[in-house]
Amino acid sequence: MFENRSEHLPDRQPFKGYGAAVVAGPDRTLIFVSGYGTENRVFAPKDGGGVSDVTPDALADRTGHALGVVAADIDADGVEEVYVHNTDTYGGIASERDRLFDPTPNGWRDIFALPVNDGRDNVRAGRSVAAVDRLGTGRYGLLLACYGAPMRFYELGDNGEVTDMAAEIGIDFLTGARSLVPGPIVTERTDVFVGNERGPNYLLRNERGHFSDVAPNFGLEAPGEHARGVALVDPDGDGQFDLVIGNWEGPNHILERRGSEFVDVAPDEWMAPSRTRTVLAADFDNDGSCEVFSNVMGAPNRLLRRREGAWVACDPGAATEPRGLGTGATVCDMDGDGTLELLVVHGELDSQPLSLYAVRNENAWLRIRPLTEHRAPARNAVVTLRTDRDTQTRLICGGSGYLCQTEPVAHFGLGGDTAPFSTPRTVTVRWPDGRARTVEAPEPESELTITHPANRN
């Protein structure tokens, strides 16, 4: 299915990395790739195609051991910050500290390095990071999945002071946490699924900004499994998100939401145990239905497609990477042609070049970019497209897969290869505060920015 587009990357040198995130930078889209024991790398799409290495010295952090990375507007200034989790140890307390990079007119600065944050930086070993708008204000907190130490939830004050709110909001669990995915899983607010190793998973239900673990209520604990990648997907457009969970050397799941329970609908090919890392859901071929990609370490990657109401395995093509040491992956439309690219990061066991893939197709598409009331990307927002044929739903990514985050755009395929493409009727954005806005008859093959109801112009 996928074709290799790696020649569009700046180089093919071996690189030991882990996570990747697509950042809405101050003046352009950036793709941040975390380097483990080597410099982080930052890419930007070039006019006319291809990708440039635009890594500023401030973000390179050449001696760090970076794992998870996420972007969000945590200070409500309309521009996304970037949180990078560093650890040089497996669990417990590390000797390295995390970075919280803030773009300023004079370049990027580390908020943790401000005098007001002396002693407040994180040295707990962890893995993934997620951006969570727990109160629906458009001002994001940063949840860190710690390993062998309590989780943290950072919020930023107006004076740049970083505060760990985990105990106050009820999520300072001592965990072996690996993955995080925020979204309206069991409420209409931003809940969080936490995939754990050597212990039960958590489903953190948002109760007006505080959280309680309701995983046992839905049979999601799986204490004998070792969760890695996790993603949310709504394949039937019913507005209820299903959980796609990849495990390390254990069974993989697709847990379909059916009322008050989740039912495993994974095909045998997906359920078979694997060394799963990142899991992503996106419509790579613009046919109007999401595919699910699983990045597997040291074995062939996996791909699922939705056909006649069921998930079926298919050939990933060039993205199979049977000898790939994949750790992370992210998705965005790098060249603005309406087709998504898949960037795969390798590392841990050895260095390998980054890989870039895409699916050749002539299908139509529509892209929706919702904004917060501060005019930053509206991470955790839900976007619903109704066409003359069906309904599709996408979640604006606050962090998913494993260590990673995809672009803050709802990408919809409209089909058209074998029949006329679907005609968009309405697109509705629902923000984490519960407010919504509907746009009639959006133009196909365009990217539409939708402002928050507080900013109607």
Q: Name the pairing type of β-strands 326-332 and 310-314.
A: unpaired
Percent of the chain with pLDDT strictly greater than 90: 94
Beta pairing partners, 33: 20, 41
Rounded to whole angstroms, the Cα distance separating 59 from 23 reads: 13
What's the pLDDT tens digit per position in 10-63?
A: 999 999 999 999 999 988 999 999 999 999 999 999 987 889 999 999 999 998
Calculate mean pLDDT across residues 92-117. 96
Q: What is the pLDDT of residue 456?
A: 72
Beta pairing partners, 233: 242
Residue 248: strand, helix, or coil: strand
| pTM assigned to the model | 0.97
Return the higher-pLDDT residue of 198 and 319: 319
Rounded to whole angstroms, the Cα distance separating 219 from 215 reads: 6
Q: What is the pLDDT of residue 198?
A: 85
| All domains in the chain, ordered by first residue | 3-364 (2.130.10.10)
CA pseudo-torsion sign 382, 392, 440, 415: positive
Tokens of residue 183, six digits: 């979204």
Residue 301 has pLDDT above 80, yes or no: yes
Rounded to whole angstroms, the Cα distance separating 93 from 338 reads: 44
Split at pLDDT 50, 70, 90, the class of 420 is: confident
Split at pLDDT 50, 70, 90, the class of 187 is: very high
Rounded to whole angstroms, the Cα distance separating 277 from 402 reads: 6
Rounded to whole angstroms, the Cα distance separating 134 from 206 reads: 7
Rounded to whole angstroms, the Cα distance separating 32 from 75 reads: 20
**Shortest CA distance to 32 belongs to which of 338, 354, 392?**
354
Q: Are 83 and 100 in contact (CB under 8 A)?
A: yes
The Cβ-side half-sphere exposure at 345, using a 13 Å CA radius, reads 34
Q: What is the pLDDT of residue 401?
A: 80
Q: What is the DSSP letter of 289?
A: S
Q: What is each CA distance from 174 to 29, 134, 193, 309, 319, in whole angstroms?
A: 36, 21, 15, 39, 36
Calculate mean pLDDT across residues 247-261. 94
Q: What is the DSSP letter of 181?
A: E
Residue 103: strand, helix, or coil: strand
Q: What is the pLDDT of residue 47?
A: 82
Q: In 261-362, which ranges are continuous DSSP H helix?
A: 268-271
Q: What is the pLDDT of residue 457?
A: 59
Q: What is the pLDDT of residue 270?
A: 96
Residues 6+ apart with CB under 8 A from 141: 74, 131, 132, 133, 134, 153, 154, 155, 165
What's the pLDDT tens digit per position in 325-336?
A: 999 999 999 999
Split at pLDDT 50, 70, 90, the class of 283 is: very high
Calculate mean pLDDT across residues 437-451. 97
Q: What is the pLDDT of residue 2?
A: 98
Calculate mean pLDDT across residues 229-257. 95
Tokens of residue 144, six digits: 């860190």
Residue 125 has pLDDT above 70, yes or no: yes
Rounded to whole angstroms, the Cα distance separating 24 from 302 reads: 29
Average pLDDT, the chain: 95
What's the pLDDT tens digit per position in 56-85?
A: 999 999 989 999 999 999 999 999 999 999
Residue 403 has pLDDT above 90, yes or no: yes
Percent of the chain with pLDDT strictly greater than 70: 99
Tokens of residue 361, six digits: 């197709």
Residue 3 has pLDDT above 90, yes or no: yes
Q: What is the pLDDT of residue 441?
A: 97
